[in-house]
Chains A and B, each alone.
Chain A
Amino acid sequence: MKKLLKGGRVVDPRNGLDGAFDVLIDGDRIARVGRDLPADGATVVEIPADLVICPGLIDMHVHLREPGQEHKETVATGTAAAVAGGFTAVACMPNTIPVNDSANVTTLILSKAAAAGLARVYPIGAVSKGSKGELLADIAELRQAGCVAISDDGHPVATALLMRRALEYAGMFDMPLIEHCEDPTLKGDGVAHEGFHASSLGLRGIPGAAEALGVERGVLLAELTGSRLHIAHMSARASIRGVRKGKEAGVRVTCEVAPHHFTLTDEALQSPTAYDTNTKMNPPLREAADRDAMLAGIADGTVDAIATDHAPHHYDEKQVEFDRAPFGIVGLETAVSLTFDRLLHTGLVRLPRIVELLSANPAHILKIPGGTLSEGAVADITILAPELKVRVHARSFRSRSKNTPFDGWELRGGVAATIVGGRTVFANAEAGLTTL
């Protein structure tokens, strides 16, 4: 079964492609990319010229909540949200109940993902048993079962010694350790970025230094061990500085930024709605100088990936006092629109860089298939609509949870279609693709 995507702008930074090309899909693989390819028996799909064909987007940081918290999200609803957001693959964090610290849990997640048949799911295993920060999890077993990285996300790895050991041990598989950077004593019981807005609302603060201390520790230990460290959801300007210094010194460190951290500031705590618990996440929304540092890091190449930290919570868990509300917002179904609106249409970066951040680099960091349209690669393709006018409507999200601060926002840029293994798993009628 062959399919020929004809027309459209192909952007594949790994192969240095950016222009009008056709893409021939054969089964679940990419057969050819070239100009004016002959149909040759393939089903021809005409792609309008203003749409962009790129390697499938990969969100390397999501919480699918299954097993254990299926009222928030399941692998099925989470991957439905993923493909609606243009993601052909997601990597899911191990803080499920029970924690993904064994092959059993990994296998369960993978079987749920296969049954759903939407986005590819790459589990991330725990660094420590139960993510308790005491004993190492069975990392080799996790890898064998399908885990692509390790993390105790939600918390930093408990001690410098345990982190050193984990880096050394995972280093034998060249698996990255993904670190949630935070000094727990400086974070304390904080609930919002320490600054004017938290002070005026009487919310306990979390200084940017709490995160940056974790970054410094991680970079030093990655240097000591020679292993790969990936820093999750950066929010503080000093963290960007720490990563930049590490990279300059040749340390094997990569990092990601979430769309809410390059879009919002802590002003959102007060306005438009004071104490909106959908502005509560960890790390918190920070001040303008921090947000601007995220943008600068995206522009100058310090930032390797955009990842959503998709963190679904049930509405009644969020409809509580601000300091009692859980941290986190959903992100899969708004990431592309925010990226286009805030990074592309502002002129900060060009389209190939966006494809690097959302596809090529995450694939490279996690060493997973995809991230390229090379011949023979998996036919994971996202068709983007950079000019599409999108109005965020939380109630229409495929995700089981609707906890977003972006409800009602009008953004420029969206997703036209998502193709996983040659199969169209999402097509957006509003983007004008009907025959896919």
Chain B
Amino acid sequence: MSDAPALTALRCKDLLGIADLSAAEITLILDTAEAMKEVATRPIKKVPALRGKTVVNLFFEPSTRTRTSFEIAEKRLSADTLNIAIGSSSVVKGETLADTALNLEAMAPDMIVLRHSSSGAGHLLSRICRSGIINAGDGTHEHPTQALLDAFTIRERKGRLSGLKVAIIGDLQHSRVLRSNIQLLTKMGADVWVSGPPTLIPAGMRDFGVTATPNVDEAIDGADVIMLLRIQLERMEGAYFPSLREYFNVFGMTENRLRLARPDVMIMHPGPMNRGVEIASEVADGPYSVILEQVANGVAVRMAVLYLLAGGVDHEEAA
């Protein structure tokens, strides 16, 4: 470890959401991730920190990016990993999540990384299982490792989170990335603005401690960071907005619009992107974009989370 963190361990066996983390715990994870990032620069990208630990990646939703990122993180920590991908169709005809979890539990894994389409699925697992649970995205609730890797990326570039103006734009209603990010960023003292069509702004947004506005220009005015959220194409059918073309015209992030933000603004996107809907290609591929850095940092942050939760190994061994 480079800097000695104020904390040396997390309080909980699970990472279900940013909601359960204190600012000090968030800092601990980000500091630990810095050390983990260094591993990727070595010729042999492997440390023995989780040797002998079993990690199950239990994915009930299709995912390439997150699952791959977790798997690489686990392998770099020398864990034994197992991928289980269960299509939602087999859930309908098959066993309950509780039964799936109990069956896995009987084989005594150390950690379960869960991706599921229902909000709170990780909470259910956590009540049933002794294994640690890492939420890799539950419905429209949280995606805590995404928010942590976003924070890591911002901190690495800007040196801090506190006092930054961060604008998050897109489908706020259906975004677990949004919920994790606003909790993390507000806990760390950032000034968070959110924007999107009023039909996609969740009820009670004011109580989250952020400023919500349908006026994108107002949200990004002087922003240090702009995060764009994916617009799912099927939302048009729910009459949330009239057309993708109109969405892009009113809310899309274009080079022209970017001039309102600070000159050193960072453009972030959790992926997968819809080019020409929430983000113009020139912006996605432009100089402000850190989208691929986010992906790279995802591995380091997930290594940190796995390491801190699977525990039982001192910091020297990991570094």
User: Which A residues have a C-beta under 8 Å from some C-beta of B?
Assistant: 194-205, 207, 274-275, 316, 319-324
Asked whether any CB of chain A lies closer than 8 Å to the CB of B124, the reply is: yes
B176 / chain A contacts, CB cutoff of 8 Å: 202
What would 4 more interface pairs be, CB under 8 Å, given A196-B207, A274-B120? Answer: A200-B208, A201-B141, A202-B142, A202-B179
Q: Are B119 and A275 in contact (CB under 8 A)?
A: yes
A323 / chain B contacts, CB cutoff of 8 Å: 118-119, 139
Instruction: Specify the chain A residue showing the minimal Cβ separation from B97.
Output: A321
Given contacts A195-B203, A195-B204, A275-B124, contact A201 B119 (CB under 8 A): yes
Give me 13 A-to-B residue pairs in the complex whose CB atoms sit less than 8 angstroms apart, sorted by A's number.
A196-B203, A196-B207, A199-B204, A200-B19, A200-B204, A202-B119, A202-B141, A316-B98, A319-B96, A321-B116, A321-B118, A321-B121, A323-B118
A203 / chain B contacts, CB cutoff of 8 Å: 119-120, 140-141
Complex CA distance for A200 and B141, rounded to whole angstroms: 7
Asked whether any CB of chain A lies closer than 8 Å to the CB of B171, the reply is: no
Complex CA distance for A321 and B120, rounded to whole angstroms: 7
Complex CA distance for A205 and B179, rounded to whole angstroms: 16
Given contacts A200-B19, A202-B179, contact A320 B120 (CB under 8 A): no
Instruction: Specify the chain B residue showing the minimal Cβ separation from A204.
Output: B140
Chain A nearest CB, measured from B157 CB (Å): 28
Q: Which of B132-150 contact A (CB under 8 A)?
A: 138-142
Q: Are B120 and A322 in contact (CB under 8 A)?
A: yes
Q: Are B202 and A321 in contact (CB under 8 A)?
A: no
A274 / chain B contacts, CB cutoff of 8 Å: 120, 123
Chain B nearest CB, measured from A326 CB (Å): 13
Complex CA distance for A324 and B179, rounded to whole angstroms: 21
Given contacts A195-B204, A201-B119, A275-B119, contact A320 B19 (CB under 8 A): no
Instruction: Specify the chain A residue showing the minimal Cβ separation from B173.
Output: A199
Complex CA distance for A201 and B139, rounded to whole angstroms: 9
A316 / chain B contacts, CB cutoff of 8 Å: 96, 98
The contact string, 1 if C-beta is below 8 Å from chain A, for chain B 117-130, is: 01111011000000
Complex CA distance for A320 and B128, rounded to whole angstroms: 11
Interface size on B, residues (CB 8 A): 24
Q: Are A202 and B140 in contact (CB under 8 A)?
A: yes
Complex CA distance for A155 and B205, rounded to whole angstroms: 30
B121 / chain A contacts, CB cutoff of 8 Å: 321
Q: Are B203 and A205 in contact (CB under 8 A)?
A: yes
Q: Are B97 and A320 in contact (CB under 8 A)?
A: yes
A205 / chain B contacts, CB cutoff of 8 Å: 202-203
B97 / chain A contacts, CB cutoff of 8 Å: 320-321
Given contacts A316-B96, A319-B96, contact A199 B205 (CB under 8 A): yes
Complex CA distance for A324 and B119, rounded to whole angstroms: 10
Q: Which of B192-219 contact A (CB under 8 A)?
A: 202-205, 207-208
Chain A nearest CB, measured from B255 CB (Å): 33
Complex CA distance for A273 and B140, rounded to whole angstroms: 18
Complex CA distance for A321 and B141, rounded to whole angstroms: 13
Chain A nearest CB, measured from B152 CB (Å): 23
Chain A nearest CB, measured from B142 CB (Å): 7
A275 / chain B contacts, CB cutoff of 8 Å: 119-120, 123-124
B138 / chain A contacts, CB cutoff of 8 Å: 202
The 5 A-B residue pairs whose C-beta atoms are closest, nearest first, are A196-B204, A202-B141, A275-B120, A321-B118, A202-B140
Complex CA distance for A205 and B201, rounded to whole angstroms: 12
Complex CA distance for A323 and B91, rounded to whole angstroms: 14
Instruction: Specify the chain A residue showing the minimal Cβ separation from B142.
Output: A202
Instruction: Specify the chain A residue showing the minimal Cβ separation from B128.
Output: A319
B116 / chain A contacts, CB cutoff of 8 Å: 321
Most buried by A among B116, B176, B202, B208: B202
Instruction: Specify the chain B residue showing the minimal Cβ separation from A324.
Output: B118
B120 / chain A contacts, CB cutoff of 8 Å: 201-203, 274-275, 321-322
Chain A nearest CB, measured from B122 CB (Å): 9
B140 / chain A contacts, CB cutoff of 8 Å: 202-204
Chain A nearest CB, measured from B148 CB (Å): 18
Chain A nearest CB, measured from B20 CB (Å): 9
Complex CA distance for A203 and B91, rounded to whole angstroms: 20
B208 / chain A contacts, CB cutoff of 8 Å: 196, 199-200
Given contacts A316-B96, A321-B124, contact A199 B119 (CB under 8 A): no
B139 / chain A contacts, CB cutoff of 8 Å: 202, 323
